[in-house]
Chain A
Amino acid sequence: MTNIVVLVKQVPDTYSERKLNESDHTLDRESADAVIDEINERAVEEALKIKEAGEGEVTVLCVGPDRATDAIRKALSMGADKAVHVSDEALQGSDMVATAKVIAGALGKVDGYDLVIAGNEASDGRGGAIPAMLAEILGVPQLTHARELSLEGTTLKVDRETEDGVTHLEANLPAVVSVTEKINEPRYPSFKGIMAAKKKPVETLTVADLGVDAGELGLSGAAATVLEAAPKPPRAAGERVEDDGDGGTKVVEYLAGQKLI
């Protein structure tokens, strides 16, 4: 019996326009449709595959505002068994270190986890550090950027793919894994799954339940402060080169001037 916890984040839909709040430069959650991060669906899929291959239970763990229940329900409708939802006003604006502490605290409320599966990075913040931070806090192995994962008994094998190449990793449970987009194709929630999702247990926790110091959380607890934010300037018009027979030379001169060749 493998107890698997999947980390799920609700993010603004990448198809909609994403904005920051003008006052504190945190994400303006009202400005865009909120959806489960696509990479999390792959994490859920991987957990379900492990469960279906043997015995196990899949718990969804989500830190986010109340409306993140939609993202949780999507994961439950795919086939996860239960969920833990940490929702607290005090979390608004938390940085990655604080978030990792909260997740670690919430894991303490899950009855004996063996494996934590996360996406390699969220599509909104794109920090990509939470899985590593979490493993560090928990004191367990981190096997990040997995494009393939297999579990034999309590031995976990992972093909880790980064720009530097592919590394074969092996660790004993418990461990934290993060998966990339290559890991699998997530299933569609079945209709029976959709209808059953509402009846599955969702435990809602606040910061007070976790034994985490509230002073370390939220915007005020963040290690760095955003002073200013501005949208990326629109792309400037390129330089136009008229070809009077010497177009090739002019292009080379331009590239050399930019130190590109």
Chain B
Amino acid sequence: MPRTQTPLGLFGTEDLIGEDDRAIRDTVRAFTADRIRPHLADWFDEASIPARELARELGDLGVLGMHLQGYGCAGTTATAYGLACMELEAADSGLRSLVSVQGSLAMFAIWRWGSEEQKQEWLPRMAAGEAIGCFGLTEPDFGSNPGDMRTYARRDGEDWVLNGTKMWITNGSVADVAVVWAQTDDKIRGFVVPTDTPGFSAPEITKKLSLRASVTSELVLDDVRLPASAMLPEARGLSGPLSCLNEARYGIVFGALGAARDCLETAIAYTQERDIFGKPLASYQATQLKLADMSLELGKGMLLALHLGSLKDAGTLTSEQVSTGKLNNVREAIAIARECRTLLGANGISLEYPVLRHANNLESVLTYEGTSEVHQLVIGQTLTGQSAFR
């Protein structure tokens, strides 16, 4: 009997997606199939990606800052942005991270909180992929508690002088511009820092076991002098950077499911081809029970993602709803990736198959943009009215 259904086909999710959004999704899928997938194993193995070249190709498609309006951005629906993230992460979480940081963190920060001059200077070039952005919030000693950051911007006449260190910064070493958050005498403020400013450096972090097809860096700010116009005028306090994280998390709600879908499709195909005791692995009940359960979680996650997409397009999505989606979908995605790895046996650990690459990547996705535990506490707080973070 031939296969007649896919995991997401069981949930009929295709009918929930509009025509344009589907066409955009299909374009990203074709792009990753042609231009990305053939190279992924090598990029992951060698821990290097041609970030500049990729940024330009992604810019040509319209992926970068795609759900923002104006300034050369495509202006798609939020749902289309989510679906694009899903296809990108079905290829590799590192690729999706590049796009998330560019569009949802760096570009969104400038688009939402920047001056008109800052928007004009950076957004069209960033949308086209001619300029790459990064986002400096996390520090070596401050992850889930960014409000305690040590990076400090001191006023010197009209100028600002920044000192401090940022850590785990995606795109850092290849960026043309960094959005850096720092303490000031008047709350936390954001700064648009051209990376060729004297005193700025971004050494790459190596020896990673996850997101190897992604550039991760430290940002070192050593008396970086900036004009008054470098500050993001509209952001004051931690709500500025947190609003950006919320955008990126939204993309992850979809993205993580892309990685999971790729693992599950790989496992379904593998178990049909692989014989054990004289018949296909797929014909054993133990295999089918696993595949069925994983399909349920993938489909439920997709329904949640598409619903959150509708809410975002309607302008009513709340941050705790994004936390709900990020917590559930990343947690289920990594569980699916690990379970699929068991179905592939020893082949599961090879770069010939995407499964352990996805599982390893999802280890980062599980803790960045808010750890699972932080999102549990966000949900706990909204359910009880009690803050239990500290």
Contact = CB atoms under 8 A, between A and B. Distances in A.
Interface in B25-82: 27, 30-31, 60-63, 66, 74-76, 80
Interface string B340-352: 0000000000000
B23 interface: yes
A195 B31 contact: no
Contacts of A189: 23, 27
A194 B30 contact: no
B222 interface: no
Interface string A172-214: 0000000000000001111110110010000000000000000
A73 B74 CA distance: 18
Contacts of B74: 190-192, 195
A188 B75 CA distance: 18
Contact of A194 (B27, B31, B60, B63): B27
Contacts of A190: 60-62, 74
A73 B23 CA distance: 10
Contact of A195 (B60, B63, B76): B76
Nearest to A189: B27
B374 interface: no
Interface string A55-81: 000000000000000000110010000
B102 to A, nearest CB: 15
A194 B80 CA distance: 12
B141 interface: no
A73 B62 CA distance: 18
A190 B63 CA distance: 9
B20 interface: yes
Contacts of A77: 23
> Which among B62, B63, B75, B80 has the highest number of chain A CB atoms within 10 Å?
B62
Interface string B4-24: 000000000000000010011
Nearest to A194: B23
Contacts of A188: 27, 30-31, 60-61
A217 B60 CA distance: 43
Q: Is the interface of A mostly helix, strand, loop or mixed?
A: helix
Interface residues of B, number: 15
B41 to A, nearest CB: 23
Contacts of A191: 24, 27, 61-63, 66, 74, 76, 80
Contacts of B76: 191, 195
A73 B80 CA distance: 18
Nearest to B60: A190
Contacts of A73: 23
Contacts of A74: 23
**Counting chain A CB atoms within 10 Å of each CB, which of B27, B63, B66 scores highest?**
B27
Nearest to B81: A191
B75 A195 contact: yes
A74 B74 CA distance: 17
B170 to A, nearest CB: 22
Nearest to B80: A191
B387 to A, nearest CB: 40
Contacts of B20: 194-195, 198
Nearest to B74: A191
A36 to B, nearest CB: 12
Nearest to B63: A191
B33 to A, nearest CB: 11
Nearest to A193: B62
A169 B342 CA distance: 60
Interface in A76-110: 77
A198 B24 CA distance: 13
Contacts of A192: 62, 74-75
Contacts of B80: 191
Nearest to B62: A191
A191 B79 CA distance: 13
A104 B160 CA distance: 69
A174 B20 CA distance: 36
A74 B23 CA distance: 9
B270 to A, nearest CB: 20
A195 B66 CA distance: 12
Contacts of B60: 187-188, 190
Which of A73, A77, A192 has the most chain B CB atoms closer than 10 A to its own CB?
A: A192
B72 to A, nearest CB: 9
A177 to B, nearest CB: 26
A58 to B, nearest CB: 19
Most buried by B among A187, A188, A190: A188
A101 to B, nearest CB: 33
A61 B76 CA distance: 28
A187 B60 CA distance: 10
A167 to B, nearest CB: 31
A74 B27 CA distance: 10
B28 to A, nearest CB: 9
A198 B31 CA distance: 22
A169 to B, nearest CB: 31
Contacts of B24: 191, 194
A190 B60 CA distance: 7
A78 to B, nearest CB: 10
B84 to A, nearest CB: 8
A123 to B, nearest CB: 17
A188 B76 CA distance: 16
5 contacts: A77-B23, A188-B27, A191-B61, A191-B63, A195-B75
Given A73-B23, A189-B23, 5 more contacts: A191-B62, A191-B76, A194-B24, A195-B76, A198-B20
List 6 tightest A-B contacts by C-beta distance, closest first.
Answer: A191-B62, A191-B74, A194-B23, A190-B62, A192-B74, A188-B27
